[in-house]
Amino acid sequence: MTAWLDALIQGVLLGGLYALFAAGLSLIFGVMRLVNLAHGDLIVLAAFVILVVADRLGLDPFVAVLIALPILFLVGFALQHVLLNRTLGGDLLPPLLVTFGLSIIIQNGLLQIFSADSQRLRVGAMETASIPLGGGIAVGVVPLLTLLSAIAVIVFLNLIFYRTAIGRAFRATSDDLEVAQLMGIDHRRIFAMAMGLAFVVIAIAALYLGLRANFDPSIGPARLLYAFEAVIIGGLGSFWGTLVGGIVLGLAQTIGAQIDPEWQILAGHLAFLAVLAIRPRGLFPRAQD
Amino acid sequence: MERGATGPARSFRIETAGRGARAAAACACIILPALALLPAVAGRNLIQELIFLFYMLALAQCWNLLAGYAGLISVGQQAFVGLGGYVLFALTLLGGINPLLAIPLAGLVSAMFALPTALIVFRLRGAYFAIGTWVVAEVYRLVFAQFKPLGGGTGTSLTPSITSSVPGIEWVRTLLDVRAPAARDVISYWVALALAAGTLALVYVILRSRRGLALGAIRDQEAAAAGLGVDIYRIKLAVYVATSAMTGMIGALIYLQKARISPDAAFSVLDWTAYVIFITVIGGIGTMEGPVIGAIIFYLMQRYLADFGAWYLILLGTLGILVMLSAPKGLWGLVSERFELTFFPTRRRLVAKDEDCHRA
Amino acid sequence: MALLETRKLTAFYGDFQALYGIDTIVDQGETIAIIGANGAGKSTFLKAVAGLIRGAPDGVLLDGEPIGARPASDIVKLGIVLVPEGRRLFPSLTVEENLKIGGYGRKMHGPWTLERVYALFPLLKERRSSATPTLSGGQQQMAAIGRALMSNPRVLLCDEISLGLAPIIIADVYAALPRIKAEGTSVVLVEQDIVQAMKVADRIYCFQEGRLSLTGRPEALTRDQIHRAYFGP
């Protein structure tokens, strides 16, 4: 019985990590209708950036990520401005294939630089610290922080999108690109800003990816799939929906693992396919898309 | 369009072959038999490399039909390569069926799996469809990794009794005076050649049919095609199932030749999707000639550059991006626009009879 | 010097030519009406001026400066704003947010503020937090005009603002025009309704199949002249 309760709690906490993965993807798709096949690899790239900053400057990862944030914002801005803006324009194929190519380049570039060794972001005692809830169940500090950060990120994104001028610009551009231009919005700059913002979210996701588990250059694609599944389960167009989607996915995985540890990932995929079959628009879809 | 003035009555006819096509047809009549007779003079290495070229070409033609014509950009076709391979292994190892017979059966099973897969995955559009197909491929991989009779996560090999039961080995041994493994490669070569030629022929026939005209319309302007009454959903479904069946057969051949299978290899995104996409994009998506060019280029790159490991893959990725951004119609697109060439005539041209004008 | 001028303006949709060399002039404070049959190129003309269709740099001149090749977002900053055909409000934004975003690109201090726009269109103030798809056609048109005014434009381009509206609503919408003109804004309107156009315009241009077929002051033009210019010989 406690094993199942534990699986539930771990599932919710894991969902926080998946929600972080998904939030960046959802943001980019929401604003510019771009699905970035390199998303997972960018999270891994960000994790390596944090690792390097932490190692070189002898810093705690939480501090290192603060330093990495502006760097990664600029990287995202530049990536969109220089490369990805050229792929947007109605045709489906270019953004898909360019980001796919990017995915391969990033994976192999990281492999060249860092080798295939597993890495980890170290925080000393916090890694194994946990808060006991009684009855033999404990909640890990890092997983809890992950979930809380996911909630904070989503609150932050909603604030930007719904309470600021640039958020209005994001939503307007997403609604109607042509008319947004008639408002004086330079859509290429807006897209670059959105990508920069997405990279900030990616950086935070990368922090918790690296804290919770080992990472290496090859794990990107799997993270993309989880991010994508969380977005679809939650429903396109809603950040809170993405949190729910992440949690549903996390629960599916931990419950599957409870039945048989080898079934963890498969259970997640099957849950996704089930949602797709039964409620193709997700659990909390927005009106228009 | 006429403004009252009447001109001479014109008759029109629809033409598909141009001068390039006639030359190509003539070449095919020479090339195909030449390739078939090649094992008489070629060494084993060349035979193995050509097997690779042929099945990559066949996979690329399938992906091109799916993505370039039907607009279904899938990054999950490795699902059917692996499925085909595993079905072959299951039928031969567990079912005692002859390996060559298992190949078309693998195609059939792939079609059976493709149908329910499509019904679910077709609920997604565009890039989300692409990732959805990837998820499905992952599901296939994970399921087969659990299937202990075929080795689970580590995979399994074909037994010598099976590899030697491929029909024709003895005949080839005596004819060409080679050892059994080389003879098996020659048989695989002929099957691969047949599959490549067959795939080309099948794609060609589809594109020249009425369905093909519809596909061309979907490729060019989907919304307009729908407005004209083209049943987009059914055609896409048919193309998805058909290409998955072909892909399954190719997968069966690949793993018959390799004689060893594992989930990670059989369902590899890199080998069966990334490389295939690269071939199609570099060569020219949405044309039949493109994948042929792309396959040859890729084969050469694999041959001379694959040793560079990660750098080679970075190069492939970069090239793919550059081509996509600066020459989206691929190398063949550049050539054919410049010289107005077509080797596989699938476009219809309206020819007015009383004037000497042709408009492509 | 005219405020806005087009010289031999051409416009293409891909290979299709929609405008064949249009010469127009808009002086400071004028209201110009553009009439013509469907497909004559009226909307295309506005889009070309607004920068949604790019052409030769000196096809469009603002204060004598060539702007014909500049993108739409730049042109807004220069003070030329288009109220697009069909209203095209942003469905993800409330009425008030739609108004606010009108001022995003061009942050000019001028007569038009949120409060002044609400004063011009009181109905909008009541519905300020509503989602725009729930507004009636007339309210949407007012919101679209208000949105454009928020950038304090020098030239307001209006594309078929009476389209799909009942006559009494059209009158309400057009009632706002004098107040807009009073602030010194120049207005170019494309209008299917010839009578309405003649009532508000200082000068008229008539388009026919991508070319100018007639121009003049409303009082100086006869019905026959307009009929011929509109429908062709």
3-state secondary structure A161-195: HHHCHHHHHHHHHHHCHHHHHHCCCCHHHHHHHHH
Contacting partners of chain A (3+ CB pairs under 8 A):
B, C
Q: Using one digit for the tens of pLDDT, what is the confidence trace for C152-207?
A: 999 999 999 988 899 888 998 999 999 999 998 999 999 988 888 888 999 999 99
Give the pLDDT band (50/70/90) at residue B126: confident
Are C88 and A176 within 8 A, CB to CB? yes
Which pLDDT score is estimated for C154? 94
CB contact under 8 A, B138 and A269: yes
User: Does the beta-carbon distance from B314 to A95 stay under 8 Å?
Assistant: no
- Please give the pLDDT value at position C2: 86
Long-range CB pairs of A171-177, under 8 A, 24+ apart, other chains included? A171/C90, A171/C92, A171/C93, A172/C90, A172/C92, A172/C93, A172/C101, A172/C104, A173/A31, A173/A32, A174/A30, A174/A31, A174/A32, A174/A33, A174/C92, A175/A288, A175/C90, A175/C91, A175/C92, A175/C93, A176/C88, A176/C90
pLDDT of residue B334: 86
Give the closest residue to A212 by CA, choosing from A133, A149, A282: A149
Q: Residue A35 and residue B136: Cβ atoms within 8 Å? A: no
Suggest the residue from B73, B78, B125, B142 to mutate for an interface test with chain A (most A CBs closer than 10 A).
B142
- pLDDT band at residue B356 under the 50/70/90 scheme: very low
Contact B143 A266 (CB under 8 A): yes
With CA atoms as reference, the chain B residue closest to A35 would be B127
Q: What is the pLDDT of residue B168?
A: 86
- How do beta strands C211-216 and C203-208 pair? antiparallel
Both tokens of B313, joined, read 């893959």
Q: Any idea which of A136-140, A261-265, B51-55 has the lowest mean pLDDT?
A: A136-140
Share of chain A above pLDDT 90, in %: 79
Which residue bears the tokens 């195609």?
Answer: B107
Task: Return the closest-CA partner of residue C78 out of C43, C42, C51.
Answer: C51
CA B328 to chain centre: 20
Q: What is the pLDDT of residues C24-55, one digit of tens each?
A: 999 999 999 999 988 889 999 999 999 999 88
Region of poorest pLDDT, from A103-107, B329-333, C97-101: B329-333
Residue B357 has a pLDDT of 43
Residues 6+ apart with CB under 8 A from C152: C79, C103, C106, C108, C109, C110, C111, C112
Q: Do residues C84 and C144 touch, judged by C-beta distance below 8 A?
A: yes
Cβ-nearest to A92 among B126, B145, B313: B126
Q: Do chains C and B touch (3 or more CB pairs under 8 A)?
A: no
Q: Do the chains contact at A229 and B135, CB–CB below 8 Å?
A: yes
**Most distant CA pair in chain C: distance in Å?**
51
- Distance separating alpha carbons of residues A3 and A279, to the nearest angstrom: 30
- Which chain A residue's Cα is nearest to C89? A179
What is the per-residue pLDDT for B8?
55
- For residue B301, give the nearest of B48, B49, B74 by alpha carbon: B49
- What is the pLDDT, as a whole number, of residue B43? 86
* Global ipTM: 0.91
Q: Inspect the interface and report whether the beta carbons of A178 and C52 lie closer than 8 Å.
A: yes
Q: Is the pLDDT of residue A225 over 80?
A: yes
Is the CB of residue A231 less than 8 Å from the CB of residue A245?
A: yes
Q: Which residue of A has its CA nearest to C84?
A: A179
List, edge to edge, every strand of the sheet that includes C31-36.
C80-83, C155-159, C186-190, C31-36, C203-208, C211-216
The Cα C94–Cα B29 span in angstroms is 68
* Contact: A185, C151; criterion CB under 8 Å: no
Q: Which residue of C has its CA nearest to A31?
A: C92
Prediction pTM value = 0.89
**In contact, A75 and A195? CB cutoff 8 Å:** no
Sole residue written with tokens 């000068």: C203
More reliable by pLDDT, B339 or A173: A173
**For residue B158, pLDDT beyond 70:** yes
Q: Which chains touch C (3 or more CB pairs under 8 A)?
A: A
* Short-list B205, B248, B182, CA closest to B40: B182
- Does residue A98 contact residue B325 with C-beta atoms inside 8 Å? yes
Band the pLDDT of B1: cuts 50, 70, 90.
very low
Question: What are A224's two structure tokens?
Answer: 């993309």
CB spacing of A185 vs C73 below 8 angstroms: yes
* C181 vs A60: CA distance, rounded Å: 63
Tokens of B80: 């059917």
pLDDT range class, residue B225, cuts 50, 70, 90: confident
Q: What is the pLDDT of residue B16?
A: 63
First to last CA, chain B: 20
Q: Are A280 and B123 in contact (CB under 8 A)?
A: yes
Q: What pLDDT digit, counting tens, does each position of A192-210 carry? A: 999 999 999 999 999 999 9
Are A19 and A238 contacting, i.e. CB atoms less than 8 angstroms apart? no
CA distance A205 to A207: 5
The pLDDT-based confidence of B17 (bands split at 50, 70, 90) is low
Beta bridge partners of C215: C205
Backbone angles phi, psi at B184, to 5 degrees: -65, -40
Q: With 90 as the cut, is the pLDDT of residue A244 above it?
A: yes
Question: CA–CA separation, B289 vs B337, rounded Å?
Answer: 13
Q: Tell me whether chains B and A touch (3+ CB pairs under 8 A).
A: yes
Nearest-CA residue of chain A relative to B311? A108
Beta carbon pairs, A and B, within 8 Å = 117
Average pLDDT over residues B178-195: 89
Report CA Rg, chain A: 19
**Do A42 and A104 form a contact (C-beta atoms < 8 A)?**
no
Measure the CA–CA gap between A54 and A64, rounded to whole angstroms. Answer: 5
What is d(CA C77, CA C85) in angstroms, rounded to the nearest whole number? 20
User: What band does A289 get if pLDDT is binned at 50, 70 and 90?
Assistant: very low
Torsion over CA: A258, A262, A268, A270 (sign): negative
Contact between A213 and A146 (Cβ < 8 Å): no
Q: Contact partners of B by the rule of 3+ C-beta pairs under 8 A?
A: A
Residue C101 identity = I
More confident site: A207 or B7: A207
- For strands C31-36 and C186-190, give the pairing: parallel
Distance from CA of C226 to the nearest CA of A (A): 32
Q: Taking CA atoms, what residue in C is nearest to A164?
A: C97
Instruction: From chain A, pick out residues whose CB is under 8 angstroms from the CB of B220.
Output: none
Q: Two tokens at C148?
A: 């454009």
